[in-house]
Each structure stands twice: as C-alpha cells, then as structure tokens.
Structure 1
Amino acid sequence: SPLLLFANRRDVRLVDAGGVKLESTIVVSGLEDAAAVDFQFSKGAVYWTDVSEEAIKQTYLNQTGAAVQNVVISGLVSPDGLACDWVGKKLYWTDSETNRIEVANLNGTSRKVLFWQDLDQPRAIALDPAHGYMYWTDWGETPRIERAGMDGSTRKIIVDSDIYWPNGLTIDLEEQKLYWADAKLSFIHRANLDGSLRMVMVVVVIVVVMMMVVGMILLVGMILVVGMVLVVGMMAVVVVLVVLVLVVVLVVVVWQKVVEGSLTHPFALTLSGDTLYWTDWQTRSIHACNKRTGEKRKEILSALYSPMDIQVLSPERQPYFHTRCEEDNGGCSHLCLLSPREPFYACACPTGVRLQDNGQTCKADEVVTDRQRPQVPSTLPACVDAS
C-alpha cells in the first residue's frame, strides 16, 4: 500500500494509505508554514517549502536525528509549489508573490530564474523528466495551466478555459495524463499532457441527480395538490403537503450521507496505481478515489491541522532512466537541464551569468561563489534578461 507524504503546515507527515490503523507519522515537526513537499526517493531526501520562513528546506528519512538543512533561504516570498527532478537532480519551484519559476541544484546552488514574465500567482508544479517537460498552474486574473521544457524552452498554455482556482497538479507518468484540482469548481479534472481530451473525474453528479429528483417530487406534488383541491378538498391537500415535505427532507438527508466527504476545497493531489489522492482544506482531511471513474471514494485521514501538498512516496513515482546529464554533467560547467528537444538536455547558467558561445560553459569572469553571491531580489526589473 502506498505511503503518502504530506505537508501539514506545522509539520511534514507520512501515512500508510492501506494501513489497518490509519495514523500519521511525523517526519519533521516544529515548522512555521510548510506548504509544498517533494522527495528524492533514491536518497531518502524530503524537501519542503516554508512560506512563513520564506525558505526551502530538507531532511532525510530513516535517519535518527537527521538535521533540517536550509536549501534556499533568500529571494523567496511565497514558495507555493515545489518539484524534485529525481533524474537531473534539480529542484524546481514556484513563488506566487515574486511571480517566478526557478530551478537550482538539490543543494540550492546554481540557482536560475526560468520564468518571470507573464506569470500571475503560479502555484502547483509537476515534472515529467522522461519527456523533459514541466507543468504548472497559475490562478491569477487569467487562470491557466502551462507547459514548458524543463530547460525553459517551448512554453505554452495548455488549459485556459473553464478553470478558476487551479490548485493541485499531478502527472500520471504511466498513462501520460494530467490531473488538476479546481477549488472554485470543486472538481478534479483530467486531460492529455497537451491539454486535449479534457474531462471531469471527481464530479458532483449526485448533486445534479438529486436536484432533478427533488424537482420531480415537487412537480408531482403540485399536480397532486391541484387535483385533490378539485376532487377531494383541503384536508387531503394538507396531508399531501405534509407527506411531500417529509419526502423532500428524506431525500436531502440521504443526499448528504451519499456525498459525505465530497470535494469542498481540494488543494493538492497525487496518485498511485489506479488511485487518486487529494487533500482538502475545508474538511482538513485526505481523500481517495479511482483515477479513471472517480468512484470508490473514501476518506484516508481526517482531523488534520491544515493539509497542504501531498506526494506518494514510492520508487514507482520516480522511475530511473539514463540521461546525458549523468555523464560529466552533460559537459555543462553549471546546470544541465533536461529538455524536450534534441539532444534532450541543455546547459544553463545561474541567473545573471551568461553562457559562452560553446553552449556549455558559463563565463568565468561573471561566475561568483555562493558566499560571494548577493541575495536574489524578489523582483526583477523589466529591462533585465533573466535567461
């Protein structure tokens, strides 16, 4: 059964989704405002963002007394999204206040701003290293989901209609599907990775059905009332009205039981096998359902403090494959980023440092050490080339 790793604002926890006794285990506690979380399974590393501390941090699983380490502690304001490239060994994150998407090595070095224009509150971010793509949600004035190469190339809007508060985002790596949660619509959607063949997976169809049932009951009741007024008299009408009210109340009660635990404010989601998991802000719980049909709904864990981001902690979610970046860092002096375009990787430099004409080496006279490097500003002027 899958282990679910999730941020709970004040801590990061694990829960066995198939366990007999569903109790969560605290991975790290004493946090201020843990929001996004991800992991590197091969190293047992867990990464999370802390919005209050404006930082990205790290610890290790299964290491007694493992220390919490700072990864990024400057130039962040509201790091809402985080994703670990387990193949290229990079961290990607979004910041909904600076309106940037950035990348760095797993230890926070060689930090680069990939996108800082035409962003308005980017939130969730997900990676597909096998194809070199990254995906993110943006819930600003023009809500949308975008896709781009993990090297910052080929940026494209893939969903921009019937979308309002896109929170969670996850990728089905096996079936090449994209899932996202919309907190305003209270739905979970699915589409191809290019945004096509979109459909609603977890729907409140029951609400529509019950409204139709209640409407039919009221219509039949009105017909009966009119008929009885004409044939029998007022006493019979009163009896019919009482029965009608009782039936409607019964239908409403049954409906509430059926949709108990339905989507109220879905935030983050992940999947394992045929099961989709998500956190809900309003119910303060974790839920699950079949990823294809939306059926077999169940509550995994409840009475949480404030469930935020969630991941399935499993090697199946981080399959290994060979890349050119593993061989001498792809020949790159600094960042070797996966790409959807041949040769399927690209060399890149930290923000403010230019790449030489050979396409591999950052200009030596511009490169500064981490000790020398000033804090990355929270905003970039329009005249600066962030590439």
Structure 2
Amino acid sequence: LIFSTKGQFILTYDCVDKMVYWTDIATPSISKASLQGGKPIVVIKTDLESPEGIAIDHLGRTVFWTDSIQDRIEVASLDGSKRRVLINTGLVNPRAIITDPIKGHLYWTDWNREAPKIETSYLDGTNRRVLVQDDLKLPNGLTYDPQGSLLCWADAGTHKVECMNPSHGNRRQVLEGLQYPFSITSYGKKLYYTDWKRDSVVMADSSEEMESDVFQPQKRSRLYGIITVYPQCPADRKSLL
C-alpha cells in the first residue's frame, strides 16, 4: 500500500513500469516517480485547475484524470502527449476515477451535492451510463477488484462503504458509521480507506463487513490518496479468452 498526505492528492500506479502517478491541486499538476525512488517528473502542468482523481490503463498505456473545476475527464499518453478531453458534459464535481483495463471500462464519481452519482463508460468515453444515483451524498473514493468484479466506494456524506457488481447491480453495504472516508483501495477481499478525521488508514474485510485494523502514521496528518501496489499486472484481455 502507498498513501499520500498533503500536496499529493490522489495516487495511481503503473504496474508495467513500476511508476506511481499523482495529482497535485496546489500546483496544479500531474507527476510521476519510480517506485524505487528518484526525483519526481512532471507529466502535465498546463490547463489544469483542480486535478483530483487519477487512473491508469496499463494495457492502453494511458492516464485518465478528473478536474472538478473544469468539470471534465481527460486522457493522455503516460508521457503527457496525445492529451484530449474525454467527457465534458453532465459533470459538476467529478472526483474519484478508476479503470478496469481487462474489460475496458472506466468508472468515476461525481459528488455534485444536488445530484451525486457514480458513472461508467468504455475507456474511449462511449456507452456512458449512470450506475448509482440513489442514497449518495459525497462519494469520495472508488476502487475496483478485477478478480471479484467488485466496485466499491466510500461516501463521506452517508458515512458508508458500499460495493456492487457493475454488471449485476447487486449493491450492498459493507461498512457504516465511518467518520470522513476519503480515498479507498482494495486487495482481494480487503478494503483500505483513508479517514480525514481519524488521520488513519483503516482496513476492513468486505465479506465480514467489519473493520479489522487501523494504522495511524507516527506524524499525524490528513491522509489523502491510497493505492494498492500489485506484485504483477493483472492478466491482459488475450489471456482471458
């Protein structure tokens, strides 16, 4: 697991090149650095206002991000080239965004206080549709487990973590009574989320529907993004045939 504090907002990971990417809303910019260490490299630093969520398609070698002031989702090659706007309609406060490269799907949250929602599309922006729009308030974090085909989100307004299979729509509550969850990631049946009020990373088991551990950094600070670093990339589309 890797998590960020102030400065680095949301994180994502390229399992091919072993690079961590993150958004910075203070600069604003999108940067990357090797998991082995080294100086950060700025990938994109122009025409950004509030880059928040970020996700990578390791098969297509592209990076996606949301901008909650420009109200759009953009995509570019991993070096920042071939940048283009993917979606710029029907968005108010887009935040979390994740990819399912194996099936070719994109998922994102919009915490528009008037009509919060979770949406999906293909990775090229087509076939856009709303997945969840009821009983949401501030859907901050979003994660997808490709092995279990489970989409989970953390909502700082309802104080819940919920999950569903995007194909079947069997939505269920996993945790309730959370304080202020922000970012969430998964590893198998384990869920990990950052909490702004507890200054902690909390682990939960999605099958048992209960918290199982809490990690609090020695230096208290508000925690932002969190990602799972897998030892190897998920299988590609061809290996699934």
Tell whether the structures are fold-level matches, with TM greater than 0.5: yes
Within 5 Å, give how 1:46-195 maps onto structure 2. Answer: 46-63=20-37, 66-140=38-112, 141-194=114-167
Equivalent residue in structure 2 for 1:270, among 182, 185, 194: 185
Alignment check: 8 A CA contact 1:268 1:279 kept:
yes
Alignment check: 8 A CA contact 2:148 2:188 kept:
no
Q: 1:67: Cα distance to partner? A: 2.0
- Following the alignment from structure 1 to structure 2, what is the Cα–Cα distance between the partners of residues 296 and 58? 32
Q: 1:273: Cα distance to partner? A: 2.1
Alignment check: 8 A CA contact 1:158 1:195 kept:
no
Identical amino acids, percent of aligned pairs: 34
Alignment check: 8 A CA contact 1:51 1:79 kept:
yes
Within 5 Å, give how 1:187-336 maps onto structure 2. Answer: 187-194=160-167, 196-204=169-177, 263-302=178-217, 303-315=219-231, 318-321=233-236
Equivalent residue in structure 2 for 1:42, among 6, 16, 33: 16
- Following the alignment from structure 1 to structure 2, what is the Cα–Cα distance between the partners of residues 156 and 272? 26
Q: 1:293: Cα distance to partner? A: 2.1
Q: Is the helix fraction higher in 1 or 2?
A: 1
Q: 1:284: Cα distance to partner? A: 0.9
Q: Is the strand fraction higher in 1 or 2?
A: 2
Deviation string 1:105-125 (CA, Å, 9 cap, x unpaired) is 001000010000110110000
Alpha carbons of 1:68 and 1:74: their partners in 2 closer, same or farther (altered >3 Å)? same
Determine helix, strand or coil for the equivalent of 2:69.
Answer: coil
Whose radius of gyration is greater, 1 or 2? 1
Alpha carbons of 1:296 and 1:99: their partners in 2 closer, same or farther (altered >3 Å)? closer
Deviation string 1:151-175 (CA, Å, 9 cap, x unpaired) is 0100000100000100000001111
In structure 1, what residue type is equivalent to 2:29?
A: A
- Following the alignment from structure 1 to structure 2, what is the Cα–Cα distance between the partners of residues 187 and 195? 21
- Following the alignment from structure 2 to structure 1, what is the Cα–Cα distance between the partners of residues 24 and 220? 18
Alignment check: 8 A CA contact 1:87 1:320 kept:
no
Q: Give the alignment's TM-score, normalised by structure 1.
A: 0.59
Structure 1 spans left out of the alignment, 5+ residues: 10-32, 205-262, 324-387
In structure 2, what residue type is equivalent to 1:44?
A: K
- Following the alignment from structure 1 to structure 2, what is the Cα–Cα distance between the partners of residues 180 and 195? 16
Q: 1:195: Cα distance to partner? A: 6.8
Deviation string 1:296-337 (CA, Å, 9 cap, x unpaired) is 522023454121111011135x313156xxxxxxxxxxxxxx
Alignment check: 8 A CA contact 2:87 2:125 kept:
yes
In structure 2, what residue type is equivalent to 1:305?
A: S
Alignment check: 8 A CA contact 1:55 1:72 kept:
yes
- Following the alignment from structure 1 to structure 2, what is the Cα–Cα distance between the partners of residues 183 and 287? 14
Alpha carbons of 1:123 and 1:296: their partners in 2 closer, same or farther (altered >3 Å)? closer
Q: Which residue of 2 aligns with 1:26?
A: none
Q: Give the alignment's TM-score, normalised by structure 2.
A: 0.94
Q: 1:265: Cα distance to partner? A: 0.1
In structure 2, what residue type is equivalent to 1:51?
A: I
Determine helix, strand or coil for the equivalent of 2:130.
Answer: strand
Structure 2 spans left out of the alignment, 5+ residues: none
- Following the alignment from structure 1 to structure 2, what is the Cα–Cα distance between the partners of residues 304 and 186? 22
- Following the alignment from structure 2 to structure 1, what is the Cα–Cα distance between the partners of residues 137 and 190? 25
- Following the alignment from structure 1 to structure 2, what is the Cα–Cα distance between the partners of residues 132 and 297? 32
Alignment check: 8 A CA contact 1:123 1:138 kept:
yes
Alignment check: 8 A CA contact 2:196 2:222 kept:
yes
Determine helix, strand or coil for the equivalent of 1:42.
Answer: coil
Alpha carbons of 1:83 and 1:155: their partners in 2 closer, same or farther (altered >3 Å)? same
Runs of 4+ in 1 over 3 A off after TM superposition: none
